[in-house]
Homo-oligomer: A and B are copies of this chain.
Amino acid sequence: MIKAESIDFYYGEYHALKNISMQMEPNTVTALIGPSGCGKSTFLRLFNRMNDLIEGTRLEGKCWVDGVDIYDKSVDVDELRKRVGMVFQKPTPFPKSIFENVAYGLRVNGIKDKKFIAQRVEESLRGAALWDEVKDKLKKSAYELSGGQQQRLCIARSLAISPSVLLMDEPASALDPISTSKIEELIYSLKEHYTIVIVTHNMQQASRVSDKTGFFMLGELIEYNDTKKIFLNPAMEETQNYITGRFG
């Protein structure tokens, strides 16, 4: 379970997130939608402290992951990032073999037991619905996979280190419809075990895959509710205008 409380976030002077409180439940897919630049990615990246990498940013408010205040001094960022997997817009496999890509997260965490690693790799690839397609070419370069397969590989890579949360920033926006639908299927099947948050530009996608939807605008969380409710009868005028395509 992850939670944000009264978050304000600044890029230098720019106030990117304004007083956002939001709680995402386990075994649930939460979609974040909103116009470009409204702060969805910024919000998502709070939860694995990816924003720390950008200089000149400032955070007010608190974030919890599984009950831990992740911006507390005592928190080890690398450990946090193991708990909170992340999948990016473009598939980003490492220039290694398929196997090594998935094993990467285990290795950097000091695991050396070969049998254990092989087993986790298989489990993760199965979890990402990719095992059958790659089991005969684990030693091949990850770049030999198609875009959609690469993205599932990246998901498998995250699964390998047993996160409890999966953050996805437009995971299918660079893919064709067929790969997209496979990723959506996958997300659906993964929610059984993880807290999933997905940023998407594609409202159809939000409506198809998510249980809850949060609508952001200009750094504010306008509405957060069941996806059905948002898409059938949103409470806020702004949400309605956005999802029905009546902008500005």
Contacts and interface: CB of A to CB of B under 8 A. Distances in A.
Total identical chains:
2
A90 to B, nearest CB: 13
Chain B CB within 10 Å, residue with most, of A177, A245, A247: A177
A177 B36 CA distance: 8
A178 B242 CA distance: 9
Interface in A1-52: 35-36
B204 A177 contact: no
Contacts of A203: 177
Interface in A170-228: 176-178, 181, 201, 203-204
A7 to B, nearest CB: 23
B178 A248 contact: yes
B178 A201 contact: no
Contacts of A204: 204
A145 to B, nearest CB: 14
14 contacts: A35-B176, A35-B177, A35-B178, A36-B176, A176-B201, A177-B201, A177-B203, A177-B242, A177-B245, A177-B247, A178-B247, A178-B248, A181-B245, A204-B204
Contacts of A248: 178
A192 to B, nearest CB: 22
A176 B181 CA distance: 20
Contacts of A178: 35-36, 247-248
Nearest to A246: B181
A6 to B, nearest CB: 28
A202 to B, nearest CB: 8
A55 B118 CA distance: 46
Contacts of A176: 35-36, 201
A176 B173 CA distance: 11
Contacts of A247: 177-178, 181
A69 B3 CA distance: 64
Contacts of A242: 177
